[in-house]
Amino acid sequence: MLSLWNFFSYYRSCRAFLHTLCVSLLLVASLPVCSFAFTFDTSRDYKAFMVGYGQSIPGWGLTTERVETIDLIPRYNHVIFPDLGSGWLKGEYSAIVELPIHVVYRPVVSSMIGINFLACYTFTSDKDWRPYIFGGGGPVYSFADIPGMGAQMNGNYQFAIGLAHPISATQSLLTEIRYHHISNAGSTEPNVPLNSIKFIVGLTF
C-alpha cells in the first residue's frame, strides 16, 4: 500500500493541476451567493463514453515493457467557468471525472481500473470545431502481472489534446490523444513505469 508520503511525492508531478484546482475553489468560495449558485449550474455539463487504444513505448523514460490496452472510459464534465477570454482564446474551464477500465491484452490478458480527476480548458470561439486540453491524474489498481510493476496499487498522471465536433443538437464527437504515465511512486521495488500514448474517441450524451 502507498504510504502517505509516497502518495504526495507522486503527485508533485501534478503540481500545476492541483494549484489550478485550489485557485479555482478559492475563487468560487469568494463569489457572491448568486454567482456561487450559477457556478454549480449543470446546464452546460455533459456525460460521455470514450473508447480507445493505448500502447506503452519501451525506451521512453524508464519504460521497458510494451503493454497494449483497449480503454473504456465513462466521463462526466462539469463546467465551472463558462465564459473566459476573448477572440480565439475564448473558452470555458471545466472539471472532469473519469472511471477508466483498461483492458490489457498484451503481454498478458488482464485489466486495470482507476479514477481520474482532470482540469480542462475548451476553446469555444468556433462552434463547429472546439479544441481542448486537459491534465490531471488519480489512482490505478492493476490486476495485470506486468514485469517491472512491483505494486497493484499505483498512480497515474496524463495530459491530452482533443477536439469536439457537434453532430447533433445534443451530441458531440470527441477525439483526443493522451500521454499517460503509471507508476507506484517508489513505494515498492521494482517500480518500472508505463509511459504510453493513447488514442481515444467518444460521444457525448
Tell me the pLDDT tens digit for each residue of 164-178: 999 998 899 999 999
For cell 462552434, name the residue.
Answer: 127
Nearest to 81 by CA among 118, 119, 131: 119
Cell 507508476 identifies what position? 183
Please give the grid coordinates belonging to residue 181. Answer: 504515465
What's the DSSP call for residue 187?
S
pLDDT of residue 168: 94
Map grid coordinates 475548451 to a residue. 122
pTM of the model: 0.80
One DSSP character per residue, 23-43 reads HHHHHHHHS-HHHHHHHT--T
How many domains in the chain? Answer: 1
C-alpha angle 72-9-52 in degrees, rounded to nearest 5: 15
Domain that holds residue 70: 4-204
Please list the ranges in the chain whose pLDDT falls under 70: 1-39
Q: What is the pLDDT of residue 40?
A: 72
Evaluate whether 117 touches 90 at the Cβ level (below 8 Å).
Answer: no
What is the pLDDT at residue 186? 87
Stated as kind and residue range, the H or E segment containing 74 is: strand 68-84
What is the C-alpha end-to-end distance of the chain, expressed in Å? 37
In CATH, what number is assigned to the domain containing residue 29?
A: 2.40.160.20
Q: Can you give the pLDDT at residue 173? A: 98
